[in-house]
Amino acid sequence: MGEKIKKAVVLLSGGLDSCTCMAVAQEQGYELYPMSFDYSQRHDREVELARQIGEFYKVPDHKIVKIGNFGGSALTDKNIDVPDYSGEEHIPVTYVPARNLLFLSYALGYAEVLKADAIFIGVSSVDYSGYPDCRPEFIEAFQNVADVATVEAILGNKVKIETPLISLTKADTIKLGLRLGAPYQLTTSCYRGGDKACGHCDSCTLRLKGFEAAGFVDPIEYE
Amino acid sequence: MGEKIKKAVVLLSGGLDSCTCMAVAQEQGYELYPMSFDYSQRHDREVELARQIGEFYKVPDHKIVKIGNFGGSALTDKNIDVPDYSGEEHIPVTYVPARNLLFLSYALGYAEVLKADAIFIGVSSVDYSGYPDCRPEFIEAFQNVADVATVEAILGNKVKIETPLISLTKADTIKLGLRLGAPYQLTTSCYRGGDKACGHCDSCTLRLKGFEAAGFVDPIEYE
């Protein structure tokens, strides 16, 4: 009798953090079921990269979900320009309302169908650009919802929301990912979504600072 | 100076319960922003009916969101037959994993964009077919998530999840809706989704029993 295979749904954007989550979940012995979203984002190149990361990890299935566009955000509305990094303490225009809530909700439905044990999401409350749905209190509240939302949960098969990066700086995330062999050459973090990363938006800036602080060279190309 | 107009996102399926929610939200003075979902359900005739209910209420906007199909449910998977009503105490095959969670998550994102004050959802913990995400504990847990998930919530503009039918039987819901002039002639509840309601699935059975107990005649056509 073999042991039951542990399954994890991994929210995989094609960015550095979610790629690190794939590495961590694999290290912890999970069978990986990545889930990615195509939401008319500027950086839809990420979806193709996410697919390649899934292939790198030889996943049994990769769920790619097309979801609606809510507007009111530079990441989904092409009429709003993505600004350069400002370092200011305010919610950036790149904020997408309730995005992580939506992603986790889809992941929970998928986890129930798979009878998965965990959902991995690469949020960090350290380098989080001011998004409210990256904070530990949000994750805890969502865990409480997950514990009552599904038939499987009521039967005692609760799904654990795993946030291995929640207290890590970008530099610590990069060190962790590189130690576990995460394929960072297949990731991009740029909000502008060109063939090469811009190097100047919030996300590129956090990434480059992270590599610098970690003492590694970013393997992707910049403009 | 006029008072601020209160806005409500109303989850509107084209069924009897959500139609009643439209009537209740209007009665309470809200400007109505219905949100409907097209999720490859068998009963996609509901989406057209939802649109007509929105027109009946002269809504400023009606958001119709196309969402992915997760399988594992008779409501989204055409290879599973919808069974007749059995009255048994188990989770029916018509259960869609995390459906209300997904709907509420979309509604919360939309509410943030609109700066809406409330989200109405027509769940009942009395006549609820055994769905875990129709129970008060689920709604309370979701309220707690909503209170920490968005920028608006953090700024103090929390969105209230309103469940006016939560403790009503189907008969009480029908009495309430008819008193408020809800256009039940534009609703359908049938899981099988034909031009006329089948009268035999779980949902038709609950509806017909409800009208009978309320002492009214259902205005829609049955096979």
Q: What DSSP letter does each residue of chain B carry, written as one string? A: -PPPPPEEEEE--SSHHHHHHHHHHHHTTPEEEEEEEE-S-TTTHHHHHHHHHHHHTT-S--EEEE-----SSTTT-TTSPPPBP---SS--TT--TTHHHHHHHHHHHHHHHHT-SEEE----SSS-TT-GGGSHHHHHHHHHHHHHHSHHHHTT-PPEEE-TTTT--HHHHHHHHHHTT--GGG----SS--SSB-S-BHHHHHHHHHHHHHT----S-B-
Residue A192, pLDDT > 70, answer: yes
DSSP bridge pairs for A55: none
Residue B112, pLDDT > 80, answer: yes
Q: Measured between alpha carbons, how far apart are the two ends of chain A, in Å?
A: 54
The domain ranges of chain B are 7-214
pLDDT of residue A183: 98
pLDDT of residue A67: 74
Q: Residue B156 and residue A149: Cα distance in Å, rounded?
A: 26
Q: Which of A191-200, B6-15, B86-95 has the lowest mean pLDDT?
A: B86-95
pLDDT of residue B88: 47
Query: CB-based contacts of B56: which residues, under 8 Å, 6+ apart?
Result: B183, B186
Q: Does A39 touch chain B (CB under 8 A)?
A: no
Runs of H (alpha helix) within A28-123: 45-56, 99-114
Task: Write the single-letter amino acid at B200.
Answer: H
- pLDDT band for A151, please (50, 70, 90 cuts): confident
pLDDT of residue B34: 97
Query: CB-based contacts of B217: which residues, under 8 Å, 6+ apart?
Result: B211
- The tens digit of pLDDT for each residue in B27-73 reads 999 999 999 988 766 556 888 999 999 999 999 999 988 776 554 44
Residue B83, pLDDT > 90, answer: no
Pick B15 or B66 by higher pLDDT. Answer: B15
Q: Residue B121 and residue B20: Cα distance in Å, rounded?
A: 10
Mean of all residue pLDDT scores within chain B: 86
Are B142 and B101 in contact, with CB atoms under 8 Å apart? yes
Runs of H (alpha helix) within chain A: 16-27, 45-56, 99-114, 136-149, 151-154, 170-179, 202-214
Residue A164, pLDDT > 60, answer: yes
pLDDT of residue B98: 84
**What is the least distance, in Å, from the CA of B220 to any CA of chain A?**
32
Structure tokens, B170: 């189907």
Q: Residue A6 and residue A84: Cα distance in Å, rounded?
A: 42
Q: Which residues of B touch A149 (CB under 8 A)?
A: 98, 100-101, 132-133, 138, 141
Q: What is the share, in percent, of chain A residues with pLDDT greater than 70?
A: 82
Structure tokens, B67: 């969402």
Q: Which residues of A touch B154 (CB under 8 A)?
A: 132
* Interface contact flag, B137 A148, Cβ < 8 Å: yes
DSSP bridge pairs for A66: A38
pLDDT of residue A73: 45
B213 burial via Cβ count (<10 Å: 0-12, 13-18, 19+): middle
- pLDDT band for A141, please (50, 70, 90 cuts): very high
Query: Quick one: closest CA in B to A104, which residue?
Result: B102
Task: Write the single-letter amino acid at B65.
Answer: V
Q: Which of A11-20, B6-15, B88-97 has the lowest mean pLDDT?
A: B88-97
The pTM score is: 0.88
CATH number of B7-214: 3.40.50.620
Task: Write the single-letter amino acid at A3.
Answer: E
Other CB atoms within 10 A of residue B13 CB: 25
- The tens digit of pLDDT for each residue in A7-44 reads 999 999 989 999 999 999 999 999 999 999 887 665 56
Query: Quick one: closest CA in B to A154, which residue?
Result: B132
> CA angle at residue B192 from B105 to B64, to 5 degrees?
35
- pLDDT band for B188, please (50, 70, 90 cuts): confident
Interchain CB contacts (distance < 8 Å): A and B: 123
Residue among A96, A108, A137 whose CB faces B101 most closely: A108
Dihedral sign, CA of B52, B53, B55, B61? Answer: negative
* Interface contact flag, A147 B141, Cβ < 8 Å: yes
Residue A93, pLDDT > 70, answer: no
Q: Which residues of B touch A101 (CB under 8 A)?
A: 105, 108-109, 145, 149
Q: Which residues of B touch A112 (CB under 8 A)?
A: 72, 97-98
Going by C-alpha positions, the residue among A156, A139, A72, A59 that lies closest to residue A103 is: A139
pLDDT of residue A221: 93
C-alpha torsion B141→A155→A105→A132, nearest 10: 40
Q: Residue A133 and residue A146: Cα distance in Å, rounded?
A: 15
Helix (H) or strand (E) holding B20: helix B16-27
Are A216 and A174 in contact, with CB atoms under 8 Å apart? yes
